Amino acid sequence: MPDPVLLGSDHAGFALKEKLKETLARLGVPFEDLGTHSEEPVDYPDFAHPVAAAVASGRFRRGVVVCGTGIGVSMAANRHPGVRAAVAYDETTARLSREHNDANVLALGGRSLDHALAGRILEIWLTTLFAGERHARRVAKIELPKTEPR
């Protein structure tokens, strides 16, 4: 059975998140939806942070966050150590975000992506393996070293 995926979106990503749940169900991928659960205005960090925290802690191996463009949720998610959130806008960026960058959070734009394309992006992102080797060295350099408090 595939690893479960954690979902979160703001109001601008709500409709796309609902479509992505259909894609996950079709693929047999279990998921948990942290919300939002309507198109009532909310703040994207309130949903991106819990998804990223769950991935950072290891509770979930992968998460998907959605806002209007995917940019805001990716910025919030990437504040968490160990999270590599990637905005994907086509099949190539989805594949490369996994293959080269080992992205563990996928960020999508509910207002900037066709929903059918977003479903294909999600499927590619879920099925693409990390290439490792030279890419592993580069991914290891993403995290900043911890510094001593002053």
What are the catalytic residues? 67, 100
Task: Please state, as a whole number, how many other Cβ atoms lie within 10 Å of the Cβ of residue 116.
Answer: 10
**CB-based burial label for 64 (10 Å; 0-12, 13-18, 19+):** buried
**64 closest CA partner among 93, 43, 33:** 33
Q: What is the DSSP letter of 5?
A: E
Give the C-alpha separation, 32 to 22, whole Å. 13
